[in-house]
């Protein structure tokens, strides 16, 4: 107490100055290098890789189309034929012309050896034979186009014309598919594709068939990814193909892969704001530094870090409230 009887007071500013600074407690975890066992499920559609749209190469009236949609055909079976009466008549005429020119050429050849025919006449006869043979070959080829047979064992998936229809050259008349070439088209993440190899085993479920799973393998990994979606195309083949499988059905494919030597941290240590992904790294002087990172796949409580972090750096796992770049921290649980 002072001599004037008043009690001395301490200003709030001085009280704050005397109050010891509170330590910022954080819990940390180490970034580690691990082999990740990843399971990813992607959806796609079944399609036949081998299918042929058959077009006519001659115009005319359709005389026969013996197979309908869904019919199984063997390689070499007749798929359709055209009325070839006109071509057959033209071929007969061409054969007669060729026979005549050959006989004339043979006669002139005998006269030429006795020097009884001029060289020009002989050469004209030889040319006539070559032209007649070429005309006959063209007509035989065109006549062959009047009948089309199956190039492989398959199933008719589309029948566009009927007997009696008149078709123009290059019209589509039939589609044949090979059910044994059934595959599943998948659009997979660019993060998964580097871990895939031809022959990798997968599990397949087809919703239309039921809950049963089918075995399959990776048949093809396309070399380019879509720059907009960052996804690449993968083809999966079923082994064997279920009897109930149909092109266009919806399928789910489960990939199980291993990613070697990946940098991972606990998922709780990864933060996000409008500037992107980041984490707080604690250095040897216990100063927390904000570090921008780029994450990859998440597996349970861990997340893969693709850029911005290296092992065995320490990251803040808990204690973010009030934490700022450059702040000194105290470890709640020393590592």
- The helix or strand, by DSSP H or E, that contains position 271, with its residue range, turns out to be strand 271-273
Question: Assign residue 15 a region: left if phi > 0, alpha if psi is -120 to 50, beta otherwise?
Answer: alpha
pLDDT of residue 21: 59
What tens digit of pLDDT does each residue of 31-64 get? 998 877 778 899 999 999 999 999 999 999 999 9
Q: What is the β-pairing status of strands 302-307 and 250-266? A: antiparallel
The residue among 239, 54, 257, 277 whose CA lies nearest residue 159 is 54
Half-sphere exposure (Cβ direction) of 183: Cα atoms closer than 13 Å? 17
How is residue 313 written in tokens? 């750096």
Report the pLDDT value the prediction gives residue 120, as an integer from 0 to 100.
83
Query: Which of 296, 299, 297, 295 is CA-nearest to residue 279?
Result: 295
In the prediction, which pLDDT does 333 show? Answer: 63
From first to last of its 335 residues, the chain has per-residue pLDDT tens of: 455 555 555 565 555 555 555 789 999 999 998 877 778 899 999 999 999 999 999 999 999 999 999 999 999 999 999 999 999 999 999 999 999 999 988 888 888 877 777 888 889 989 999 999 999 999 999 999 999 999 999 999 999 999 999 999 999 999 999 999 999 999 998 878 888 889 999 999 999 998 899 999 999 999 998 889 889 999 999 988 888 899 999 999 999 887 767 899 999 999 999 999 999 999 999 999 999 999 988 877 889 899 999 889 999 999 999 999 999 999 986 55
Residue 192, SS3 per DSSP? coil
* Annotated domain spans of the chain: 25-37+262-331, 39-50+180-260, 54-82+146-177, 84-145
Q: Give the pLDDT of residue 139.
A: 95
What tokens appear for 141 in the block?
A: 């080829």
Residue given tokens 């990813």 in the structure block: 40
What pLDDT is stored for residue 195 in this prediction? 84
Q: What is this structure's pTM?
A: 0.63
Burial of 95 from C-beta contacts in 10 A (0-12 / 13-18 / 19+): middle
Contacts of 176 (CB under 8 A, 6+ apart): 51, 52, 54, 73, 79, 150, 151, 152, 154, 155, 156, 157
Q: For domain 84-145, is the CATH number 1.10.287.470?
A: yes
Rounded to whole angstroms, the Cα distance separating 251 from 234 reads: 13
Nearest partner of 44 among 205, 276, 224, judged by Cα: 205
pLDDT at residue 38 in the model: 76
Q: What is the pLDDT of residue 307?
A: 92
Question: Do 25-37+262-331 and 39-50+180-260 come out as alike in CATH topology?
Answer: no
Burial 308-325 (b: 16+ CB within 10 A, else e): bbeeebbbbbebeeeeee
Q: What are the start-end ranges of the H helices in 114-190?
A: 119-144
Structure tokens at 100: 């005549």
* C-alpha neighbours within 13 Å on the C-beta side of residue 178: 12
Q: According to CATH, what is the number of the domain 54-82+146-177? A: 2.40.50.100
Residue 39: per-residue pLDDT: 83
CATH topology of domain 39-50+180-260: Elongation Factor Tu (Ef-tu); domain 3 (2.40.30)
Q: Which of 56, 120, 116 is nearest to 82 (CA)?
A: 56
The rounded distance, in Å, linking the Cα atoms of 282 and 317 is 11
- The CA distance from 318 to 267, in Å, is 11
* pLDDT recorded at residue 4: 57
**Domain 25-37+262-331: which CATH number of 2.60.40.10, 2.40.420.20, 2.30.30.100, 3.50.50.60:** 2.40.420.20
* Separation of alpha carbons 322 and 327, rounded Å: 9
pLDDT digits (tens, 9 = 90+) for 166-216: 999 999 999 999 999 999 999 998 878 888 889 999 999 999 998 899 999
Q: What is the pLDDT of residue 286?
A: 92
């Amino acid at each position: 107490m002072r001599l004037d009887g008043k009690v001395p007071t301490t200003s709030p500013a001085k009280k704050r100055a005397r109050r010891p600074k509170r330590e910022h407690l954080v819990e940390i975890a180490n970034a580690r290098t691990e082999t990740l066992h990843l399971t990813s499920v992607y959806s796609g559609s079944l399609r036949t890789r081998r299918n042929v749209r058959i077009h006519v190469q001659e115009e005319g009236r359709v005389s026969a189309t013996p197979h309908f949609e869904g019919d199984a055909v063997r390689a070499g079976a007749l798929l359709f034929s055209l009325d070839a009466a006109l071509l057959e008549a033209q071929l007969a005429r061409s054969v007669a012309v060729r026979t005549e020119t050959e006989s004339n050429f043979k006669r002139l050849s005998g006269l030429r050896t006795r020097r009884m025919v001029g060289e020009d006449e002989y050469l004209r006869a030889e040319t006539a034979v070559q032209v007649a043979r070429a005309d006959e070959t063209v007509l035989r080829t065109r006549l062959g186009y009047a009948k089309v047979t199956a190039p492989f064992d398959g199933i008719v998936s589309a029948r566009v014309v009927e007997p009696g229809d008149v078709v123009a050259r290059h019209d589509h008349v039939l589609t044949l598919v090979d059910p044994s070439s059934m595959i599943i088209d998948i659009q997979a993440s660019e993060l998964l594709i580097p871990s895939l190899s031809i022959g990798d085993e997968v599990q397949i479920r087809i919703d239309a068939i039921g809950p049963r799973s089918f075995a399959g393998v990776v048949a093809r990994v396309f070399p380019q990814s879509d720059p907009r979606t960052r996804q690449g195309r993968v083809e999966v083949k079923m082994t064997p193909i279920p009897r109930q499988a149909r092109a266009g059905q919806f399928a789910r494919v489960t990939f199980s892969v291993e990613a070697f030597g990946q940098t991972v941290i606990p998922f709780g240590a990864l933060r996000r704001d409008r500037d992107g992904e980041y984490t707080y790294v604690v250095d040897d002087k216990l100063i927390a530094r904000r570090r921008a990172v780029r994450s990859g796949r998440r597996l349970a409580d861990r997340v893969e870090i693709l850029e911005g972090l290296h092992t065995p750096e320490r990251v803040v796992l808990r204690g973010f409230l009030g934490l700022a770049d450059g702040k000194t921290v105290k470890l709640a649980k020393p590592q």
